[in-house]
Amino acid sequence: MSNFYAAMEIGTTRTVLAIGEEEVGGRLKITCHAEIPSTGVRKSQILDINQATSSIKSVLHAIEKKQSEAGSTITLGNAYLVVSGQHIKADPFQGMVPIEGAKVGPEELDAVFRSSRTMQIPKDREFLDIVDQDYEVDALRGITAPRGMSGRILKLNTLQIHADRNRIDNARTAADEAKLEIREPLFAATCAADAVLDEHEKRNGVLVLDIGGGSTGYAAYSDGHLVTTGVIGVGGDHITNDIAHAFQTTNAQAEQLKIESASAIIGRPGEPRVKVPGSSPLMETRTISRRALDTVVNARLRELLTVIRETLEDQDLFNRLHAGVVLTGGGAAMHDIDDLVKRELGMPVRTGKPIHVDGLDGEKFPASFAAVAGALMYASRTDEDRSILSGLIGRFFK
Amino acid sequence: MNDSSSMMLIGIGGGGSAIARGVRRAFGEGLRFLAIDTDAATAADCEDFLLLGGNRLSGRGSGGDIVAARLATEDSINSLDPKIEGVRLAIIVTSLGGGTGGGATLETVKRLDSLGIPSIVFATTPFTFEGEDRQRSARGVMAMIEEAAGATFFVPLDKIVGNAERLDDAMRRAVDTMASAVTLFWRLVEKPGYLRLDAERIRHLVSKAGRGRFAAVSSMGPDRARDISDMIARAPLLTTGSGPVRAILCGVLAGEDLRLSEISTISEGVRSAFGNQATTFELATVNDEDTFSGRISVVLLLFEANAKDDYSEEKPAGVLGNKRKKRAAKPLGIGPQGRGRFNNAEPTIWNSEDLDIPTYLRRGISLDV
């Protein structure tokens, strides 16, 4: 039997659950996935556990139905949890050991690895990931393979990604209530990056922008490793809110305008007026200026890109991103956002379809599944016993 | 400090630059002047010029499009910094309602504010006949300019053209009125007088003054002081405000023949017309025989009681290259309005701005809905 993994994302606008299966040759394929609108979540944070539980139950039910239709009988007892939100931070930390025998050997490599895992964080924080960046031997930096090198001190640079423990626990509680065990929380932006980037891009310098409903994660790579990552608490919901405020619409109307009519670029050709259907049968359809609509969207996205740009410039990283920008998440589906990013950041841009995971060919917008695809890759890579199949508390799909 | 270099006159857009050129001509040498526009033709009569959005608009102007002007300003605003080096107070003249004045003024004022440079904004607002769209555009940006500027003087064009019958006469009169008021204000600061009001004092007074009204009047003859008192009491631009006057700045400019009794007459006239509730009354005089021989000119600035905080706290001087830290020290400019569905969510704060509030609102972007 093949190995199966599950990953779930409780997002601001939707809850997604995907099951991945290792195919012959080890490549991963998403064999079943489902998504339903989220409730009780704002800006990537759960505000109502009951509603979040209900969303998880609904998406489990949707998966169950699909699996049943496909004749599958596997048991799903746990899943990796993909998380985002501006509570997630990444801090650099350096492991450091003396080189006893004048040359770096296995003992030094093991010791510096253990040293790099000793960073202390407050009790209300929880590690999501520790990413190794590069080694240093004395004054020599940017080393990828230090074994055999001479020197006095060996250092390992890492990026320590951590999150608010209570917020992760809220998601665990909601999942527990839905009879789904959370295996590990994983960071959405780096998961998405793993799914959509190739090694060539990581070496040349690339930025992944994972634009979700409530927040936007970013992950920048250079010289083959992650150099910075984080979350800005602005996402597609902000565009919706701006539209609703500007044109006095309901959120549902604003969401529809954003998806169907709005453009990230002002002045694109098209009908000058956009229809806004009445919010109830008693309300008449009206029209608004397409240019005004695009102006609202453009202002929000330009501001988000300015925040990203200044964040990277503050770390002297902006000019190292020679391979450009890759957009993932539901926000990447915004009309003309690639043109705007290209114009504002002055870099080549592409939409990030997962390239290391199969099974999304029929999807209208595969980039919105990048984070869960990356989480499944992580599961495949690291899960030793791969035991979500049997003997666990779970549900039966017939 | 050298006053002539610490104050700068900035004309924004075609209308603002025309007013600024008028001031420059009337004042003569020693006035530091920068014109800012999307139209390269404006550069012709200006010593120093900043073209906005050269790549975007190719120097052909915004065509009356506020959005295009705002985007052009965002493209080019970094180029403002070297041109304002050493400036501690900016006097901005502009015309709101459409085009570059409407789109570029706010971004310029915000940039100055982020550098710790207070600005005094003299802005005309559209004629009534220009329509509600332009009026609404002007109103939308006025509130945001007030947030970032030290003092603001918004002048409805209807109020300053008087009984002019032809449009070109009306526009000329508007430009002349604004230019003469700003010129007198400039002379008040730059020229020596017995009751001196220098640029640093002005800077202190206006750094948080808020919305105000102004008038400039002149008279000659034996009853010139009494005439001026009467004109001030009837001046249409001084009756446009909605709140009681909290502070008064009164500048009297005359030749060597200015008598003490005339200063008293003018001062008492101003106080009786506007000063009942004013807590601050600043009087300054300039004696310039060459310019004002036989004549008295008065420039009067009134600040309303709903203006910004008290005058006591002065902003730090600007330091180029440290903009983000300066912005971080600024209080939030807008309240919870517009947070909508994020009302109960943890706010996203960036450079002291609440990013949950719609961007177009915080940036004062007018929407032609």
Of B164 and B330, the one with more pLDDT = B164
The reported pLDDT for the residue numbered B80 is 93
Please tell me which residue of chain B has the smallest CA distance to A241: B340
Q: Quick one: three-class SS letters along A6-62?
A: EEEEECCCEEEEEEEEECCCCCEEEEEEEEEECCCEECCEECCHHHHHHHHHHHHHH
Reported confidence tier of residue A3, pLDDT bands at 50, 70, 90: confident
Give me the DSSP letters along A168-206. Answer: HHHHHHHHHHTT-EEEEEEEHHHHHHHHH--HHHHHH-E
**Of B158, B187, B206, which marks where a domain is finished?**
B206
Range of B126's domain? Answer: 3-206
Above 70 in pLDDT, residue A394? no
Both B13 and B162 in a single domain? Answer: yes
* Residue from the list A42, A242, A292 with its beta carbon closest to the beta carbon of B369: A292
Same domain, yes or no: B200 and B293 = no
> Are residues B48 and B195 located together in one domain of the fold?
yes
**Looking at the predicted structure, is the pLDDT value of residue A255 above 50?**
yes
Instruction: Determine, for residues B358 and A289 on separate chains, whether the beta-carbon distance falls below 8 Å.
Output: no
Q: Please list every residue in chain B whose beta carbon sits closer than 8 Å to the beta carbon of residue A237.
A: 341-342
Question: Residue B74: closest CA among chain A residues belongs to which residue?
Answer: A302
Task: Write down the ipTM of this complex.
Answer: 0.90
pLDDT of B40 strictly over 50: yes
B191 with B234, same domain: the answer is: no
CATH number of the domain that residue B283 is part of? 3.30.1330.20
Q: Inter-chain contact B346–A86, Cβ cutoff 8 Å?
A: yes
Residues B24 and B133 grouped into a single domain: yes
Q: Give the residue carrying structure tokens 């965002």.
A: B74
Q: Are residues B197 and B244 in the same domain?
A: no
From chain B, the residues in CB contact with A299 under 8 A are: 359-360, 363, 365
Q: What percent of chain B has pLDDT over 70?
A: 84
Indicate whether B188 and B236 sit together in one domain: no
Residue B135 lies in a domain: yes
pLDDT in tens, A136-165: 999 899 999 999 999 999 999 999 999 999
DSSP assignment of A82-100 equals EE-STT-EEEEEEEEEE-T
Q: Which residues of A touch B67 (CB under 8 A)?
A: 266, 291, 295
Comparing A241 with A23, the larger pLDDT belongs to A241
Any domain includes B313 = no
User: Residue A341 has what pLDDT?
Assistant: 97
CB contact under 8 A, B356 and A246: no
Max mean pLDDT among A30-39, B159-168, B173-182 falls in: A30-39
Same domain, B54 and B186: yes
pLDDT confidence band for B329 (50 / 70 / 90): very low
Q: Does A273 touch chain B (CB under 8 A)?
A: no
How do residues A184-195 score in pLDDT, each as one tens digit? 999 999 999 999
**B310 located within any domain:** no
Residues of B in contact with A296 (CB under 8 A): 358-360, 365, 367
A160-186 pLDDT, tens digit per residue, is 999 999 999 999 999 999 999 999 999
Closest by Cα among B151, B153, B186, B158 to B174: B158
What does the pLDDT average to over B129-144?
80
Same domain, B103 and B39: yes
Q: Which residue in this structure is represented by tokens 């008693």?
A: A282
Are B344 and A47 within 8 A, CB to CB?
Answer: yes
The total number of structural domains that make up chain B: 3
Please say which residue of B190, B206, B222 terminates a domain. B206
Position B230, amino acid: D
Mean residue pLDDT of chain A comes to 91
Q: Among A220-234, B157-171, B225-239, whose mean pLDDT is lowest?
A: B157-171
Task: Note the pLDDT tens digit of each residue in B305-314.
Answer: 554 443 333 3
Helix (H) or strand (E) run with residue A108 in it: helix A106-115
Q: Are B179 and B16 in contact (CB under 8 A)?
A: no
The yes-or-no verdict on residue A389 having pLDDT over 50 is no
Partner-chain contact A292 B368, CB within 8 Å: yes
The tokens of A51 are what? 């509603």
Domains delineated in chain A: 4-86+166-190+355-396 (3.30.420.40), 199-353 (3.30.420.40)
Residue B266 C-alpha, separation from nearest chain A C-alpha, in angstroms: 49
Nearest CB to B360: which of A47, A237, A296? A296
**pLDDT (0 to 100) of residue A396:** 36
Tell whether B225 and B192 lie within a shared domain. Answer: no
Average pLDDT estimate for B214-236: 88
- B179/A395: higher pLDDT: B179
CB contact under 8 A, B367 and A245: no
Angle between helices B66-76 and B99-114 (to 10 degrees): 30
Nearest-CA distance from B70 to chain A in Å?
A: 10
pLDDT score, position B337: 59
**pLDDT-derived band of residue B241, with 50, 70 and 90 as boundaries?**
low
Distance of residue B12 Cα from the nearest chain A Cα, in angstroms: 22
Half-sphere exposure at residue B55, Cβ-oriented, CA atoms within 13 angstroms: 6
Q: How do A45-46 and A41-42 pair as beta strands? A: antiparallel
**Beta carbons of B358 and A241 less than 8 Å apart:** yes
**Is residue B96's pLDDT more than 80?**
yes
Residues B191, B229 within the same domain: no
Distance from CA of A293 to the nearest CA of B (A): 8
- pLDDT at position B364: 79
Report which of residues B319 and A302 the model is more confident about.
A302
CATH of the domain at B115: 3.40.50.1440
Poorest-pLDDT segment among B49-53, B118-122, B301-305, B348-352:
B301-305
Task: Residue count of chain A, please give it.
Answer: 398
Which residues of chain A make contact with B363, given a CB cutoff of 8 A? Answer: 299
Q: Is B61 within the bounds of a domain?
A: yes
For residue B194, the model assigns a pLDDT of 67
Write out the two tokens for A146. 């230090």
pLDDT higher than threshold 90 for residue A335: yes
Residues B189 and B221 occupy one common structural domain: no
Q: Look at residue B316 in the predicted model and tell me its pLDDT.
A: 33
